[in-house]
Structure 1
Amino acid sequence: MTLLESLIENNSILLKQKAETWEEAVNKCIKPLVDAGAVEQRYLDAIIKKTNELGPFYILAPGLAMPHDRPESGVIKDSFSFVTLEKPVVFPDGQEVDILIGLAATSSDIHNEEAIPQIVMLFDDEAAFEKIRKAESTDEIIGLLK
């Protein structure tokens, strides 16, 4: 599974979205995967529930979150979504996030060996954050990922 292929296949890049709460932001992030048949609705519900229980364990860097849950929570196929927000939302631990990358992985191996390294590589360059925040079109995001 590559990040780029998944985003194109699932039509799951959404830019400059409006969200008032972290729940709304996570919903906007996971909904394209529900719509594409990559995850069941209960996967989104599981992420919200787990965040309320454990906090946002999936915040990877300032401003960047990767909402996800266990494969058995409703993952149908390995996939990603990519969402930027007009303005950051505050998560339960006080951290602000305006870039969300939804992850659905069918196994912990996919999560650890394929998904995480792709995200780390994308955001390894500090300038990537600014380019992503300024992007106005899905083509700009696709260009960054190539």
Structure 2
Amino acid sequence: MSELRDLLPVNAIRLEVDASDWRAAIRAAGELLGETGVAGDSYTDAMIRVVEEHGPYIVLTPGFALAHSRPDDSVTRTGMSLVRLAEPVRFGHDTNDPVTLVMALASVDSSAHQDALAALAGVLAAPERREALERAQTPDEVRDALTARPAAAPAAAASSAPADAAVPAPTTTRSADDHHDLRPAMADTAVTGDAVPSKRLILTVCGNGLGTSLFLKNTTEQVLDRWGWTPYLSVEATDTISAKGRAKEADFLLTSGAIAQTLGDVGVPVEVIDNFTSQSEIDATLRRLYAI
């Protein structure tokens, strides 16, 4: 898989870009995909249609939008571009507007960019690195802020966790006849008897299953890993069409407010996450859903 540095060259970054609205902002990022030989104008049009059809779910964390679509014939290779706007624009997201950073992603498959998105999620979740993106003066500085490896935390600071960091792992009960069967402890006192076993699957959903759902998958997996639940649950990123067909295989679906409206009633809970990079928000959601 490709790393963020491989997919985002310096000439695919532009600062202080003027954009009158969200469409112009996506077009500015799409133009850079064209200039770097990643994708053509038809792909930019497709990125805009995604928002028109599914709403502003691409605004996955405050001030940041990840424009993307399914690949068309104009996509020649997997790549990214990034524009920082001179003035923020509104995409229509209830909690994450206005947007100052717009990244465009074009991918030839569903796997080549996964490592890059995982790294990007880590950058956006770290306040000091996000601040570095906002104050960078050149494309080189932006790329350095995105791709520099975070410094190791001093040993003395290990006991002082940041606000969005680890929460003590929940306790769980497991079936006596199957030690791999995840049975979250039921905190609701109205519930009696044994806890209901999990189906061992969580689906994260976006319009295409290639971009924002991978962000949400990555953050959810980080929470489960911290809890020690990774051996018991799988998290899969998918698109809206596949999610409707597979929903009953999962415990629940995690997605944006716009995509939740598109999905409607799928027979299992559909939970809205506002900030796709926030471990604390997802931690709280999972604790509520698993009643722990």
User: What TM-score results when the alignment is normalised by the length of structure 1?
Assistant: 0.88
Aligned with 2:99 (options 97, 100, 104): 97
Q: Find the residue that maps to 1:83 and give its secondary structure.
A: strand
RMSD of aligned residue pairs (Cα, Å) = 1.7
Letter paired with 2:106: A
Pairing 1:1-146 to 2, within 5 Å after superposition: 1-8=2-9, 11-72=11-72, 74-93=74-93, 95-111=97-113, 113-144=114-145, 145-146=147-148
CA, structure 1 residues 57+74, in 2 after alignment: closer, same or farther (shift >3 Å)? farther
The answer to whether the 8 A contact 1:3-1:79 is kept is no
Letter paired with 1:71: P
Letter paired with 2:38: A
Whole-angstrom distance in 2 between the partners of 1:142 and 1:37? 19
Whole-angstrom distance in 1 between the partners of 2:21 and 2:56? 13
Identity of aligned residues (%): 28
Choose 1 or 2 for highest CA Rg.
Answer: 2
The answer to whether the 8 A contact 2:123-2:130 is kept is no
Q: Find the residue that maps to 1:129 and give its secondary structure.
A: helix
Q: Find the residue that maps to 1:123 and give its secondary structure.
A: helix
Larger helix share, 1 or 2: 1
Whole-angstrom distance in 2 between the partners of 1:142 and 1:50? 27
- 1:68 offset after TM fit, Å? 0.4
Whole-angstrom distance in 1 between the partners of 2:36 and 2:30? 10
Whole-angstrom distance in 1 between the partners of 2:126 and 2:119? 13
Whole-angstrom distance in 2 between the partners of 1:67 and 1:47? 6
Whole-angstrom distance in 1 between the partners of 2:110 and 2:59? 18
- 1:73 offset after TM fit, Å? 6.3
- C-alpha distance after superposition, 1:54-101 (max 9, x if no partner): 112211101011100012364210101111111210113452110111
- 1:116 offset after TM fit, Å? 2.0
The answer to whether the 8 A contact 1:39-1:74 is kept is yes
Letter paired with 1:101: M
The answer to whether the 8 A contact 2:4-2:117 is kept is no
The answer to whether the 8 A contact 1:46-1:73 is kept is no
The answer to whether the 8 A contact 2:89-2:100 is kept is yes
Work out which structure has the larger RCO, using CA pairs closer than 8 Å and 6 or more positions apart in sequence: 1
Whole-angstrom distance in 2 between the partners of 1:118 and 1:71? 22
Number of residues of Structure 1 aligned to a counterpart in Structure 2: 144
124-133 vs 46-55, greater mean Cα deviation: 124-133
Whole-angstrom distance in 2 between the partners of 1:38 and 1:143? 21
